[in-house]
Every structure is written in C-alpha cells, then in structure tokens.
Amino acid sequence: MNNIDYLKKYYIGDINEAIKRLEHGEPVQYIVGNVDFYKYNFIVNKNVLIPRFETEELVDETIKKIKNFFKNKVDILDIATGSGIIAICLKKEFNSNVIATDISKEALEVAKENAKRNNADINFVNTNIFDDINKKFDVVISNPPYIRYDEEIDEIVKNNEPHLALYAEENGLYFYKEILKNIKTILKEKYLICFEIGESQYEDIKSIKNQFLPEASIELKKDLQGRDRMIFITNIE
C-alpha cells in the first residue's frame, strides 16, 4: 500500500490537506497520528520516533527469551521509552512490573496516552537513563539513540523525527556505555539485558560489555534484512 492509499484508508479529516502535508515531506504516520506495532495500536507524533519493524523484532525476541529464562513474575525497565511501545508490549504479554524512563517530557506524554489506549499499567519516569531509579530488575531493555552525528540518514527522518531520540555522541555509542557502566546497581542476581543497535556497532558494544560485565554472555541477532540489530546480554545459563 502506497502512502496516498494509506491516507485514504486511515486518515480521518480533509484528505486533500493530508496529501499536501505528505507532499511537503511529512511522514504519513504523523499525518494519520497512529500506527500498528506488534499486536497493538499506538499514537505517534513529532515528539516520538516512528516505530520500525526492527524494533518489533527486538520485542519479539525479548518475549521469547523472557519466557525461556524466567518462570516467575519479572521486573522490567525500559530505558529511553519514547512512545512507550516496548514497555507496553512487554506489559501486555507478561504479568510483570514495568518502569519506563525517558528524558523527554513530551515523549512521556505520548507514552502515557499510549498506555491508557492499550490498558497497560506502567510507571513512567522523567529522568536520564535510570537516574532516580532505586529498584532492581530482571530485564533491562532499550532502543536508545544510536546514530552517529555524521551518519547519512533519510531526509524524511532527519527533517521530521526528534533528533534527541536519533543521535548519540561517541560514534553513537554514548548511551550503551552510560547504561552498562552503572547497570550492576539495578540488576538482580540473574538478569537479561536487551538492546537494539546500529548495524556496525556490535564489536564496540561487546568491548563495553566486557569492561563492565565481564562475566556475562552476549548474543547477537540479525534483523530480517540480515543486518546486525539486536544484542542480548545475560548471566543466565
């Protein structure tokens, strides 16, 4: 389905005005105002990223691993939650306690609306990474900003989606390092850490993991396009 057909099917309002917005380079998802992700529907606007298929794959793989590793109720932390899609999907799939953090108050307003929309009880916290979080978790998951500032990305993404959620210092590795260097303070004895990553970042993140969590194992998963996309770090046999 092309973008105009998508508008005609899902947009409620003046379709001619919507087509003008599309022609001026606005993403169709922002014009429609919502998007399907995994099994659920979510509000999206200029304050949050448009969900990608790769992140659906991260959610799906994480669900499989939680089912495999844990038998009891789990405590989950979603870092840089954005629109809340990861946290909400995991809450809907499991009898779990979920906390989701983001530095953007605007993004968290969207996330809270999405939680209401999907009847998901989540504690959203406006903070940097996991500052102010005094709890330990079985599962920590994040799709953080990971694009290098000098990296070429599609114009429609660069011109519309929030740069705060796209770009990171240190060649895109800043948030992985910041998360991993202090993560022991919020991990339970047995843990699972799940990251979405850029396709060229695995070896660098593996080195960061080895520095701060040398005892943990690390698994790389490719996305459906064959690109390195997901990392799972755990000390569970």
Lookup result for tokens 């099994």: 39
Q: Going residue by residue through the chain (237 aa), what tens digit of pLDDT does each one get?
A: 788 888 888 888 889 889 899 989 999 999 999 999 999 999 999 999 999 999 999 999 999 999 999 999 999 999 999 999 999 999 999 989 999 999 999 999 999 999 999 999 999 999 999 999 999 999 999 999 999 999 989 999 999 999 999 999 999 999 999 999 999 999 999 999 999 999 999 999 999 999 999 999 999 999 999 999 999 999 987
Residue 3 to residue 27: CA distance in whole angstroms: 9
Q: Which among 221, 217, 222, 220 has a CA at the least distance from the CA of 233?
A: 217
- Report the pLDDT value the prediction gives residue 169, as an integer from 0 to 100: 95
H/E stretch holding 108 = helix 105-117
CA dist., res. 108 & res. 48, Å (int):
9
Give the three-class secondary structure for 211: helix
**Which domains are delineated in the chain?**
49-234 (3.40.50.150)
